[in-house]
Amino acid sequence: MGNPPHIPSSFGDISNTNTYNKNDNHSRDRMKGPDGGDGPPWKMMVFTLMLMTGLVGSQVAALKLSRHEYHSWVEVVEKLTMLCLSFIMVNVGYEFNVDKSNIKSYAKDYLVAMTAAGFPWILVAAWFLYALPGPVPFGSALVAASFAAPTSAGILFSMLEAAGLKETWLFKKAQILAIFDDLGTILLMIPLKIVVEGFKWELTADAAIMLLLLCSAYVKLHELKLPSSSAFTMLYSVLIVGFCEGMYFVTDRYLPMDAIRISVLLPAFTMGCITQVDHHAQSDTEERIKTVISTCFMLLVGLSMPSLFIAGSDHLSFQALAGHVLAVSLLMILGKMFLLFCYKDESDLRTRLGLALGMCPRGEVGAGVIVISLNMGISGPIITIAVISLAINLVLSSGFIVAVKHLARPPQASKGPPRKRSAKPATVAFTIMAITACIFGAVQGRRSNGAAQVFTTWPMPPGRQACGTLPAQLGGPRQAFMVALPVYPQSLH
């Protein structure tokens, strides 16, 4: 039998996971449930059921409640979702450690997370710009497409832990990447707001607060002796939600400025990071409470989904809408596959594929981006497609985690540690760009009533550059790109 990889005890060891120990089976045995499986399967089933129940409930509420009642419903669900997410992220901070002597490895993780978030965003934005019929404002496409970027940290952490993967390299690396991924998306919204609404000094305040929180988490990492029981963790979560919502309320109602709204994700994570925790004091009761909060969070994420019946896509036929949703859903997954080309010196291909699939679930942050887009006045087919694609991704979340669980299992036989190879991220970047170019520059023309239907076109306005990087042979600025989506001509009017 081959030598299984050593599982690091903390995030500080994560860059040295190419160390192998033949006798290190403790963590693998601890992951097995009573039936010999890799963790209790009932958690995954309950979490999936809660997600689906919440998703159905969100649509029923949108259809049955009056406008005023629905607005109140959304406010309550939003606050409860923020509370549960804050609780989860404080616990993530409790277990987060940084090897301050090896900061360069975290710089690499941050760059990988930014590209893993950036590729889905770029691909979906390009689809909105060049595949949808009718002109789509450049800034609106960028803002609306950012829903595809962030991984749902809450869903990812809860489901991976439920799958029994908490002590694996994959889980620890996914935690770092998901935190950086969500942080990058939050920071990305600042320049995007500048593009759409123009520069406002309040945006610098957002950036300053986030920078202060990050510095506090790093400088005071696990230095403050504060209670860390579930009761106190919930108290911290209530205070964090109150602080974020209070700042928004005061700046929105009482100060002559644009409202400042901070996501609870980073403050909650910082709170956990600065707290000194005695991990040996954890009890079964504490674990049960965490499971209950995670279960409630899954339900609330489903309930927080915007209505699928958003007006603005009436001019798209059902076939066209389904085609666009399918394309966007695939691009959301394709962009995360960049991780296959990273960490070749730390894990094998199976584990990297599991890591990439683990980063695919979207949730509360993506829904928040859609709400921000609506508040900025963005509407039309891009919002409808974004909402439906996010809902489908939510349905697929448990499937992603099941695949991750399967891929994380060590192979039955191995010849030793994976061979060290230099990572070449440029390879996947070039591949994704080439695929995108092929899609946007698909063969033009119309086919008769044979195998293909009429293709959707978007005539680009004079003077507009076609992505700026596509070769001239694919068409000049005024040339229409023909995208293979089966729609009928009347759907474009």
Q: Is residue 200 part of a domain?
A: yes
Each residue of 271-317: pLDDT tens digit? 999 999 876 767 788 889 999 999 999 999 999 888 876 655 556 78
Counting other chains too, the contacts that 61-65 makes at CB distance below 8 Å and 24 or more residues apart are: 61/303, 62/306, 62/307, 62/308, 62/309, 63/307, 63/309
CB 171 within 8 A of CB 160: yes
Enumerate residues 6+ apart whose C-beta is below 8 A from 314: none
Q: Would you say residue 182 has pLDDT above 70?
A: yes
Q: Is residue 475 part of a domain?
A: no
Each residue of 112-128: pLDDT tens digit? 999 999 999 999 999 99
Mean pLDDT throughout 373-397?
87
Q: Is residue 239 part of a domain?
A: yes
Each residue of 17-34: pLDDT tens digit? 333 333 344 333 333 433
Rounded Cα distance between 127 and 440, Å, is 8
The CATH code of the domain that includes 127 is 1.20.1530.20
Q: Is residue 459 part of a domain?
A: no
Indicate the SS3 state at residue 20: strand
- How many other CB atoms sit within 10 Å of the CB of residue 11? 19
Q: Is residue 480 part of a domain?
A: no
- Crossing angle of the two packed helices 318-336 and 381-408, in degrees rounded to 10: 40
How many folded domains does the chain comprise? 1
Q: What is the DSSP string of 376-415?
A: TT--SHHHHHHHHHHHHHHHHHHHHHHHHHHHHSPPS---
CA 251-374-203 angle, to 5 degrees, is 40
Place of tokens 């489903």: 302
Q: Is residue 444 part of a domain?
A: no
Domain housing 267: 41-277+288-307+317-409
Each residue of 65-116: pLDDT tens digit? 998 999 999 999 999 999 999 999 999 889 888 888 888 888 889 999 999 9
Give the type of residue at 282: Q
Mean pLDDT of the chain, nearest integer:
76
Enumerate residues 6+ apart whose C-beta is below 8 A from 207: 187, 190
- How many other CB atoms sit within 10 Å of the CB of residue 66? 8
Q: Is residue 117 part of a domain?
A: yes
